Amino acid sequence: MENEKKIPLSELRKAKGFSQKEFAVELGVSSALIALYEVGKRKPKLERAIMIAKYFNVPVENILFARREDANKELICRDELKKTAIEQQQNKQMTVFDL
């Protein structure tokens, strides 16, 4: 479970196409509370975390322990891998005539 990628709540919400307000209505809470969850100033109580996890079909640990910093690191790593792959592809396309 620890090796699974944890996706921040804001990313899960956006993937479903919800604004904070729309998602708050779905959960029956205020949009201010959703904002606090997303920035890490509050954690949902276990019962609500379970409800959110079921809604997004993710482990409850994802809701309780995902951090925005982890998502940012993931994006940076993905960008670096993409850049490396592009460079490798460009190097493979070079021929003797290119030198």
Interval 37-64: pLDDT, tens: 988 889 999 999 999 999 999 999 888 8
pTM confidence score: 0.62
From CA 38, how far away is CA 89, in angstroms rounded? Answer: 38
Say what angle helices 20-27 and 46-56 make with each other, to 10 degrees: 110
> Is pLDDT at 71 greater than 50 in this prediction?
no
At 42 the three-state DSSP class reads coil
